[in-house]
Amino acid sequence: MLRLLGIGGIGIVRMSGEKSFEIVEKIFKPKTYQAVENIKGYTIKYGNIVENGEIIDEVLVSYFKAPKSYTTENMCEINTHGGNIIMRKILELCLKNGAILAKPGEFTQRAFLNGRIDLLQAESVIDIINAKSEKEAKTGVKQLEGFLSKEIKEIKHKIMDVMVNIEVAIDYPEYDVDDVTNEQIIEMLNIVNTRLKKLEKSFDNGKLIKEGIKTAIIGRPNAGKSSLLNAILKEDRAIVTEYEGTTRDTIEEFVNINGIPLKLIDTAGIRKAKDEVEKIGISKSKEIAMMSDLIIAIFDSSKELTDEDLEILQLAKSGKTIILLNKIDLEPKINREDERLRKVSNHIVEISALNNTGLENLYNEISKMFNLSEINLDSELIITNIRHKNLISKAIEDIEKTKKTIKDGMPLDIVAIYIKELLEMLGNITGDIVSDDIINEIFSKFCLGK
């Protein structure tokens, strides 16, 4: 199995499997020859890739010997000079000599199938690759280290401890073992429930980190929307990524400032409005306000509130809103004490988008509103994956059902069926029991070469 990775100054052709050393030996002429059996794992050798006596590229080859490799199989990585032509050529040479092309995610899939990592860890590799913020990458790395897997395993052990006693009581009623009491079962279920609920709740934070706070900037023409947008995007510390928006013709920009992940909705619309070609109408503003987690409603503080402003305030009522009084460098006509503003939101910040003043206060306000400082990634487990969240929610439902069967006075063997279902749900998360379809689906989300 082999794969070509990216295009850059240096490229890597990666091979995994029994035959990888045999294949590399046929095409790679190291400066100092050593038989493959004598090459230790984690060795890098320098030499040339050669075809019919002709040098294709000067390369470094890293050797990883089973089981100490990413996939646990023999692996080698040919570090070539980047560039499509040479890499493709080397890839073809490997193929000609017996390698087959890897599917997306196949390296990680093998690491999973060979038991080196569990499904949670494999999925976290995708999250790390796709991470848009430092916080998100950190949660991915923590998952890769197995923190979440450990928590799920501990929860499963707690259930198993009680399950074993239940099984004995069902299968060997003649044995004089201490009967497991309903109270014991319920106590165990409550402990498990608390731990799962905590994980379930962490998803909301995880989602914010992963997807960003969907933010709509609304305001009447000339209030300063595009000036604000530019001021935010110009921040030195902002990491900006552009996305196609969910609706046609919209662009969403992901900005990360001081660890505050903002996904600005419809930035294209705001820019268009600036060209005076198309003003954002109230109905369009309504639409973007509806899809957002945060509304930033911006007003020109050097003018009295207009009818349009009042309509914008009406829209802003519908969600978490920050009111921005812009243009504070000019003579004020409205201020933060204005009852019409205070009725809509207590979060009022004064700025001058033109002079770049007050932005820091805006970020602090957002941070406070979303408890961002409370998301402590070092001490907390955070789930960011919807598949995990759904399974955890189902497991919590199973707990409720189990408790009900006990309260209804059902016999132990019925209770046991529910507890087994609960265990199965948790097993699905770490992948101890999971169908091939799900595995294929998960690994198909990988990029090539990982």
Interacting residues toward ligand GDP by CB under 6 A: 219, 221-227, 270, 273-274, 326-327, 329-330, 352-354
Q: State the distance between the two ends of the chain, measured CA to CA, in whole angstroms.
A: 12
Q: How far is the CB of 223 from ligand GDP (least distance, A)?
A: 4
Q: Answer yes or no: are the C-beta atoms of 133 and 260 closer than 8 Å.
A: no
Q: How far is the CB of 84 from ligand GDP (least distance, A)?
A: 42
- Cα dist from 70 to 24, 107, 188, 249, 447, whole Å: 18, 8, 38, 42, 16
* Rounded CA separation 428/443 (Å): 15
Toward ligand GDP, which CB reaches closer, 139 or 226?
226
10 Å Cβ neighbour count for 352? 19
Toward ligand GDP, which CB reaches closer, 48 or 222?
222
Burial of 420 (0-12, 13-18, 19+ CB in 10 A): middle
Specify the pairing of strand 251-257 against strand 43-51: unpaired
Q: How far is the CB of 290 from ligand GDP (least distance, A)?
A: 20
Toward ligand GDP, which CB reaches closer, 274 or 347?
274
Q: How far is the CB of 398 from ligand GDP (least distance, A)?
A: 51
HSE-CB at 417 with a 13 A cutoff on CA atoms is 6
Toward ligand GDP, which CB reaches closer, 106 or 300?
300
Toward ligand GDP, which CB reaches closer, 153 or 272?
272
Torsion of CA 240, 241, 246, 248, to 10 degrees: 90
> How open is the CA angle 233-234-237, to the nearest 5 degrees?
90
Amino acid at 232: I
Torsion of CA 308, 314, 318, 319, to 10 degrees: 60
Nearest by Cα to 326 from 307, 295, 309, 349: 349
Q: How far is the CB of 245 from ligand GDP (least distance, A)?
A: 18
Q: How far out from the chain centre does Cα 145 lie?
A: 15
Q: How far is the CB of 278 from ligand GDP (least distance, A)?
A: 11
Burial of 390 (0-12, 13-18, 19+ CB in 10 A): middle
Q: How far is the CB of 296 from ligand GDP (least distance, A)?
A: 12
Toward ligand GDP, which CB reaches closer, 118 or 309?
309
Toward ligand GDP, which CB reaches closer, 270 or 426?
270
Toward ligand GDP, which CB reaches closer, 219 or 431?
219
Toward ligand GDP, which CB reaches closer, 26 or 279?
279
Q: How far is the CB of 227 from ligand GDP (least distance, A)?
A: 3
Place of tokens 């994980």: 199
* Rounded CA separation 429/427 (Å): 5
Q: How far is the CB of 224 from ligand GDP (least distance, A)?
A: 4
Helix, strand, coil percent values for the chain (each to nearest 5): 50, 20, 35
Q: How far is the CB of 244 from ligand GDP (least distance, A)?
A: 22
Q: How far is the CB of 294 from ligand GDP (least distance, A)?
A: 18
Toward ligand GDP, which CB reaches closer, 11 or 224?
224
Amino acid at 278: E
Toward ligand GDP, which CB reaches closer, 99 or 223?
223
